[in-house]
Amino acid sequence: MTVAVHDAPRHTIHLPAPLVIARTAASHLFEATIAPLAIFYLVMSQLGLHWALIAALAWSYASVIRRMVLGQRLPGLLLMAAGLFTVRTVIAMVTGSTFIYFLQPTLGTFVVAGLFLASVRVGQPLAERLAHDFCPLPDALVRNSAVRRFFLRISLLWAFIYLVNGMTTLLLLLRSSLPTFLVMRTVSSTTLTICAIALSYVWFMRSLRAEGVALRWARSRP
C-alpha cells in the first residue's frame, strides 16, 4: 500500500492582511474610476456636458498631482485612467457629443487589450504592474520563475477579457438607449471582471503550489 506524501513548501512569502489588500484595491478603484464617473454624471445633470467633462478630468489630474506632491507611488490604474480621460475629454469637447464620450472608453478597452498583448511581447507583463497597485508583492515572489510565467499568461487572459468586454459594450451602445446602456454595461463589465479575478486568483495559487511556494497572510488588526 502506497501512502501519498505531500511535500512541505520550500519557500514562504509574507503578504499583507487580506483586509488591507481589499482596502487598497477599493481605494484605487474609487480614485481612478468610480469617483470621476460619479462626478461626471452629477455635474452633467446640473451644469451640462461641458462642465461635466472638465470636472471629471480635473479630478483625475488632481489625484495624480496630489500623489506626486506627497511623494506617493502612482498606481498604474490611475495613470491609465487619467490618460484615457484626457483623450475622451478633448474629443468630446470638440464634437459636443455624449455618444462619442461613451464610445471612447469602449474603444479604449480595445487599446488596453492591445497593451496587455504588447506587454507580453516585450516580456514586461502589464498584469504584474497592476498587481502591485493592489498588493505590494515582495521581490522574492516576483523573481520566482513560476510567478513570472503566471503574469505573462494572465496578461493574455486579461487581454481576452478586455476584448470581450469591449465588443459587448460596443453592441450595447449601438443598440440600447442611454439608461439601458449604463445599467447593462455595468452588469456585464462587473460580471466579466469578477470572473476574471476569481480565475486569476485560482491560477495564481496553483502556480505557487507547483513551485513549492506558500503564502502567509498577515493578521488584520482589530
Q: Which three cell numbers stand for residue 2?
A: 502506497
Q: What is the pLDDT of residue 4?
A: 39
Q: pTM for the complete prediction?
A: 0.61
**pLDDT in the model for residue 200:** 81
Per-residue model confidence as pLDDT tens digits over 196-209: 878 887 887 777 77
Looking from the CA of 53 toward its CB, the CA atoms found within 13 Å total 20
Measured distance CA(29)–CA(75) in Å, rounded: 10
Residue 216 bridge partners (DSSP) = 14
Q: Is 116 exposed, middle or buried (0-12, 13-18, 19+ CB in 10 A)?
A: buried
Return the pLDDT at 1: 37
Dump pLDDT digits (tens) for 5-42: 345 455 666 666 667 767 777 777 777 777 887 888 78
pLDDT at 56: 86
What residues of the chain score a pLDDT lower than 50? 1-6, 8
- Residue 86 to residue 122: CA distance in whole angstroms: 26
